Homo-oligomer: A and B are copies of this chain.
Amino acid sequence: MIVAFSITPLGVGEGVAEPVARAVKVVRDSGLPNQTDAMFTTIEGEWDEVMDVIKRAVEAVAEVAPRVGLVLKADLREGVTDGMTSKVESLEHHLS
């Protein structure tokens, strides 16, 4: 499955890049395909491995923030691999 998620630390001020970087580091160290933009980090894998990474990313932020918000959107489709690339390619094909 493909999952885009965003972690918001509360109670640490309005600038949150440092605590959020802790979460992104967990994702990059995970070995799963991943990509981070201004709003979400997207990763791809099986449910258990993806959710384990997100749990540890949330924990890494919770170490430095008293309250943590998590928003997640997942796309689960049997038999799809490399969906992070193929979905965008399919979309661009329809746009060209």
A interface residues (Cβ-Cβ under 8 A, vs B): 2-4, 6, 8, 10-11, 13-14, 16-18, 20-21, 24-25, 28, 35-40, 42, 47, 51, 55, 58, 62, 65-78, 83-85, 87-88, 90-91, 93-95
Contacts and interface: CB of A to CB of B under 8 A. Distances in A.
This chain: how many copies in the complex? 4
12 contacts: A3-B39, A4-B40, A17-B87, A37-B37, A38-B84, A51-B51, A58-B74, A58-B76, A67-B75, A68-B76, A69-B75, A70-B76
Given A37-B84, A66-B14, A25 B95 contact: yes
Contact of A10 (B14, B17, B36): B14
B76 A8 contact: no
